[in-house]
Chain A
């Protein structure tokens, strides 16, 4: 089974530029998450999709961040314009609730390391 794929793996931009990240979840996983992990901290949930609908985006800075999940599969996360404090690793994860069980395991992609200069 292929894992969660993300690209690019690394990105360096200047402040006020735009950047986009792509995520391809595990096949069949309905739920997709984007997290921001700042160096030395735990991941912070930015947005959660269930199929192509948004479940939660309460911690997404909507003035500069946007995300979409067209057709309920791949997803893109965009930052426009970027600020210095956006430097972080952006992690994508997907999950599929086992039928009849509460348990839900998240599978994380390798992440995209963003450096804003």
Chain B
């Protein structure tokens, strides 16, 4: 079974600061997704990363993928309160099954 680990599990950061969330996975995959989940809400797709070296950016969030290291990062630039949420990465195996990480709960403090 494919294992997906995120760290940190909890992140409290001040507005205006930068930080990175890490997503490691255990077996070969060439597709990785990042999702956002607000409290009591469902999941919203943020990024799809399809190949080694892929980088995508949307606003203050930038995601990258290193398939050789089996690592993806979600970088937050100059955090604002609206970014407070739980962020999940999900990896797809060769059978097209999605495996989600443990999630990173982000709180941005004014």
Interface residues of A (CB under 8 A from B): 33, 35, 40-45, 48, 55-56, 91, 93, 102-111
Contact = CB atoms under 8 A, between A and B. Distances in A.
Interface of B: 4, 30-31, 33, 41-45, 48, 50, 88, 90, 92, 95-103
Contacts of B44: 108
Contact of B102 (A42, A48, A93, A106): A42
Contacts of B96: 48, 55, 104
B100 A110 contact: no
A22 to B, nearest CB: 16
Given A41-B102, A105-B48, A56 B42 contact: no
B43 A91 contact: yes
A42 B23 CA distance: 13
A41 B103 CA distance: 7
Contacts, number: 54
Given A41-B103, A42-B103, A102-B50, A107 B45 contact: yes
Enumerate the 3 nearest inter-chain pairs by beta-carbon distance, A residue then B residue, closest first: A42-B100, A108-B42, A108-B43
A69 to B, nearest CB: 16
Contacts of A109: 42
B1 to A, nearest CB: 9
Given A41-B102, A45-B97, A56-B97, A103 B48 contact: yes
Contacts of A108: 42-44
25 contacts: A35-B100, A40-B103, A41-B102, A41-B103, A42-B4, A42-B88, A42-B100, A42-B101, A42-B103, A44-B100, A45-B98, A45-B99, A48-B97, A55-B97, A56-B95, A93-B43, A102-B30, A102-B31, A103-B31, A103-B50, A104-B31, A105-B33, A107-B45, A108-B42, A109-B42
